[in-house]
Amino acid sequence: MTQTKTQQLFDKLKKLITHSHNRFKGVKVNDSLNIFADNLLNDWNTRNDEKQYLTYHRGTVVYVDFGLNVGAELSGPHYGIILNKHDNPVSAKVTVVPLTSKEGAFNIPLPTGLTKVLGEWYAVTGLVHSKNFQPVTPDTIFDLFAVSEEKRNNHGHSKTEQRMLERFNQYREETNLIKSELKKQLLDLEKISYFKIDNVATISKYRIQKPHHKFDALGRMTLPSDDMDLIDQQIVQHLLDK
């Protein structure tokens, strides 16, 4: 009996997963194929919808899942830099240059280290966070009097005190989160010092990892404009020299 095209597809994918032990080009094959299928299905289900997308400034550092691709095309997750000068919410795609920690013929040193940019971003974020939490203000002084009054009238229980403690605990948890995220991302980015000039790619915004929380630097921190001008020059030179 002649196999259907669908059955042939299933058999080929099963063979790839089995023979590669589910690991090929630095990615888990079944995970990558599942994500690819989910994205295609989402495209189909929303094909008639008017869509709005996140916008990215030129020079934004992002984390991109390039998926499982053929030949020498880049595969797997990589950090990257947004090249678009004018992004907008109706544009479904952006152009990125991937980043790497490895030397190579087409890997160009970054003008400014990512750890410096990351450190500066978190320094500003930490200052803003501290400024937003002011433990001594006219309101908090008023609250302290309210706590005393409420405890006297409610057998030692005070809703105002509970609210103040919750606010303080939230601030402490967020401060610890900022510190832990900075440490983790510094470890990830400290070795990344090149951009892959031969792998510039236009990608769907679906491939970009969204920030996990409001203190996540990825998708928000940007390289200086002077650095981006140098990167643009290198890319143009690379394309013209081909």
- Least confidently predicted of 51-65, 76-90, 130-144, 193-207: 130-144
110 and 216 part of one domain? yes
171 and 159 part of one domain? yes
- Domain membership of residue 203 (yes or no) is yes
Q: Which residue has the higher pLDDT, 86 or 101?
A: 86
Instruction: Report the pLDDT value the prediction gives residue 21, as an integer from 0 to 100.
Output: 95
92 and 43 part of one domain? yes
The boundaries of the domain holding residue 66 are: 5-114+196-241
Q: Residue 143 pLDDT > 60, yes or no?
A: no
Residue 117 Cα distances to 4, 33, 74, 228, 229, angstroms: 53, 34, 25, 13, 16
Instruction: Report the domain count for the chain.
Output: 2
Verdict on whether the full-model pTM lies above 0.85 = no
201 and 109 part of one domain? yes
CA–CA gap between residue 183 and residue 2 (Å, rounded): 57
98 and 126 part of one domain? no
38 and 104 part of one domain? yes
26 and 105 part of one domain? yes
- Domain membership of residue 191 (yes or no) is no
208 and 138 part of one domain? no
Phi, psi of 113 (to 5 degrees): -65, 145
- Domain membership of residue 35 (yes or no) is yes
104 and 220 part of one domain? yes
